[in-house]
Structure 1
Amino acid sequence: MRGTLARAGEAIDDCLEVPPWSLAGPELAAALDAAVLVQRKAAALVLGLVGEVDRSGLAREQGATSTAAWLRHRLRMPPGAARAMVADAETLDRGPALLRDAVTSGAVGAEQARVIGRTVATVHDEAGAVAADKATGMLLDWAGQFDPEGLRRLGDRILEHVAPEMAEQAAKRALDRADQRAQRDRHLTLSAAGDGRVRLSGLLDPETGAVLRAALDPLTKPAGQADERTPGQRRHDALAEVCRLTLRLGELPDNGGEAPQIVVTTAFDAAARQLGVGTLDTGDRLGPEAVRRLACDAGVLPAVLGGRGEVLDLGRLRRLFTGATRRALVIRDAGCAFPGCDRPPRWTQAHHIVHWSAGGVSSLDNGVLLCGHHHRAVHHDGWAVRLAADGLPEFIPPPWIDPQRRPRRNVYHRRC
């Protein structure tokens, strides 16, 4: 076998000498199909060899704790990929002969085989060998048309085709098992990424996933044609807005006897009247622009330190837009005041037109309602805000949007 594989490797080396750009369109497509077929057959050979390594106990003979650990060391593989390779080899070894033949011939890829193997095993447990054989044939036929995800979806309802009399009860049992898995595996993790960012990961049960989607989806649509955020960035910003709204509502339970809030500690240069780098109560550091933006939010208490580290001021209600002032802003702006934005008042933060660090006060004449996305735009993208002669806010775009910097207004909201 080693000699044959060596000759196969030499044949592939010959192919690698041919530059792909030299192939015409139809020839390029045909070469790709042939290369994928070789890749699939090679993968089937690898799985067969891995299966024999596992059955023979070779890995333990050489001192490894498992076949997956042996593969990881010998082939320099990630642990997850090594475990998956062993599992795929076991699936082929225990699965129906039709599936092994399809994988060996290259008609079915490894991921498709994994889905088919799991589905057939489930059908066998639910309805017996005859139904499992029927399911194997149908899934192999479908594999010529569908990718692994499509096969998985079809496999979820395969019993309706091969054992309809058992399908309803089997579906109920499958849903019960899925619900048990969801309840068992649900978790959410917040971990430091090491550079000030926070990594969010986890698994949600279906109900919580639906609730989260319902909360985020209305906030993830692009904010106008100039919104260059990726879908992932829009989901990130939507989650931040949902959390800020919850903090503003003031209905969360106390944390250590105090209402939930964010504390930002920052130095203040009295001569230049400028904020320095800030530190969150989590220990993470923020730049001055982020500190100024957070200081607008009623859920944040800015703790300003002097040159010797003494507390010059701890943010109080007078720095924040609350009570009657907040209600007046809602009546005047009726939502995010940025041109073209339709976010309602409950999704907005009150922004100081003149930053409080520069002497700005929390008054109706110095405030404007902005959603999270446009709050960041005003702080970072060069937009200026002012109140016009009629007392309504207007926005001056940066020169790269409008060289003449003509004022714009939000005409979406109906105002009293």
Structure 2
Amino acid sequence: MVEELTQAGDAVAACVDDASWALAEDELIAALDAAHRLEQRLAAVKLALVREIDGRGTARAQGASSTAVWLRERLHLTISTARRLVDLAAALDAGNPGIRAALANGDITVDQARVIADTVATVHTAADAQAADKAVGVLVGWAGQFDPALLRKLGTRILDHVAPDIADAAAQAALEAEARRASRDRHLTLSALTDGRLRLTGILDTETAGLLRAAIDPLSAPSGPDDQRSPGQRRHDALGDVCRLALRTDELPEHGGDAAQIVVITSYDGLTRQLGSGTLDTGLHLTPETVRRLACDAAILPAVLGSASQPLDLARQRRLITGPLRRALVLRDRGCAFPGCDRPPRWCDAHHIHHWADGGTTTLTNAVLLCGHHHRHLHHSDWTVRLGGDGHPEFVPPAWLDPDQLPRRNHYHRRT
């Protein structure tokens, strides 16, 4: 076998140096098909070798804790890839000669073989060996038309074809088993990075996934033709918007006796001089720009601290743009006032046109509604905002965008 594989390797190596540009189009396509078929046939050989190595205990004999770990080191694979390789090799060896033969003939891909093996195992459990054998034939036939994802989806109703008398009961049992797995596997992990950011990982069950998509999908669309954020960045910002909305509802449970909130600690002088960074109550640090943006629409709680930063006097908090003033702002702007934005008022912050920390007043003539994205954008760009002669906000673009710097307005929100 080693000699034959070496000869096959030499033949493949010779093809690598061939001038594919010289092939006619039909020859080029035929060569691609042949290379793909050969890749699957070699995969069948590789899986058979992996199964034999695993069965002999070669990995443990050589000091590895498992075959997957041994393969990771030997073939330089990721551990997850190595485990899938061992699992598939075992599945194809466990009474699935039809799948193994289809892969060896190049009729299916490795990914399709994995889907078929999983589906056949389910059929064997729900029905019997005869139905499982029928399922192999049906699925291998479908593999000639469908990719692995669609093949897996079609496989959920394979019993309709091979064992229709128990299909409905088996489908219900499979659905219940899937629900149990989803409930068992659900989790959300928040990992703090050293620079203050947070890594978010986890698995959501079907219902929660639907809720998340329903909440963030409408907010993940580009905010306009100039929106340069990637899809991942837009989803990130949408999640932040959802959290802000939840915090504004006053319906979240109290945390430590206070309403759910974020707490930023900064000095008054630093805030007014636009130089002071801030610290969250969790100990993470914020840039001066972020502190000033958060101060636009926040509860301010003045405190007198001693030399060791211990609280000596704590005043009553006073809110900035809330109550009747915010309602008046909503009636005027109807939503995010930035040109081209359609975000409604509930997604918006109240932004001081002349910053409160710079002596700006908390009045209707010094405020504008901005969604989270455009609030951040205004604080970190050369756009400026002012009130026009009719009392409605207008935005002046930077000179690099419009040399004439003609003021722009939001025409999305209908005004009467």
Asked whether the two chains share a fold, i.e. TM above 0.5, the reply is: yes
3-state SS of 1:350 partner: strand
Displacement after TM superposition at 1:80 (Å): 1.2
Moved more, 311-320 or 395-404: 311-320
Match of 1:184 in 2: 184
Match of 2:154 in 1: 154
Calculate the aligned-residue CA RMSD, in Å. Answer: 2.7
Moved more, 1-10 or 103-112: 1-10
Moved more, 296-305 or 32-41: 296-305
Moved more, 297-306 or 280-289: 297-306
Match of 1:2 in 2: 2
Match of 1:363 in 2: 363
Written as runs of structure 1 = structure 2, the 5 A alignment for 1:196-215 is 196-215=196-215
Q: 1:150 to 1:24 in 2, by over 3 A?
A: same
Indicate yes or no: 2:89 matched with 1:79. no
Q: Distance in 1 between matches of 2:271 and 2:226?
A: 38
Moved more, 163-172 or 71-80: 71-80
Written as runs of structure 1 = structure 2, the 5 A alignment for 1:152-301 is 152-267=152-267, 273-298=273-298
Displacement after TM superposition at 1:315 (Å): 9.7
**Aligned AA for 1:138?**
V
After TM superposition, the runs of 4+ consecutive aligned structure 1 residues lying more than 6 A away are 299-316
Displacement after TM superposition at 1:287 (Å): 2.2
Q: Decide whether the 8 Å contact of 1:301 with 1:316 is kept in 2.
A: yes
**Aligned AA for 1:381?**
S
Moved more, 34-43 or 77-86: 34-43
Q: Distance in 2 between matches of 1:154 and 1:46?
A: 28
Q: Decide whether the 8 Å contact of 2:134 with 2:162 is kept in 1.
A: yes
Match of 1:330 in 2: 330
Displacement after TM superposition at 1:128 (Å): 1.2
Written as runs of structure 1 = structure 2, the 5 A alignment for 1:306-325 is 318=318, 320-325=320-325
Q: Decide whether the 8 Å contact of 1:120 with 1:136 is kept in 2.
A: yes
Q: Decide whether the 8 Å contact of 2:103 with 2:110 is kept in 1.
A: yes
Q: Distance in 2 between matches of 1:315 and 1:227?
A: 42
Show CA shifts across 1:194-218 (max 9, x none).
3332111111111111111211122
Q: Distance in 2 between matches of 1:315 and 1:164?
A: 73
Match of 1:68 in 2: 68
TM-score relative to the length of structure 1 = 0.92
TM-score relative to the length of structure 2 = 0.92
Moved more, 44-53 or 26-35: 26-35
Show CA shifts across 1:68-107 (max 9, x none).
1222232232221111110010111014222111111122
Show CA shifts across 1:293-338 (max 9, x none).
2222337879899999688998975462112221121111111111
Q: Decide whether the 8 Å contact of 2:321 with 2:362 is kept in 1.
A: yes
Q: Distance in 2 between matches of 1:300 and 1:124?
A: 65
Q: Decide whether the 8 Å contact of 1:266 with 1:303 is kept in 2.
A: no
Indicate yes or no: 2:152 matched with 1:131. no
Q: Distance in 2 between matches of 1:30 and 1:302?
A: 76
Could you tell me which runs of 5 or more consecutive residues in structure 2 were left unpaired when the two chains were aligned.
Answer: none
State the identity as a percent. Answer: 60
Could you tell me which runs of 5 or more consecutive residues in structure 1 were left unpaired when the two chains were aligned.
Answer: none
**Aligned AA for 1:4?**
E
Moved more, 261-270 or 8-17: 261-270
Match of 1:11 in 2: 11
Match of 1:57 in 2: 57
Displacement after TM superposition at 1:16 (Å): 2.5
Q: 1:192 to 1:20 in 2, by over 3 A?
A: farther
Indicate yes or no: 2:375 matched with 1:375. yes
Match of 2:343 in 1: 343
Displacement after TM superposition at 1:368 (Å): 0.6
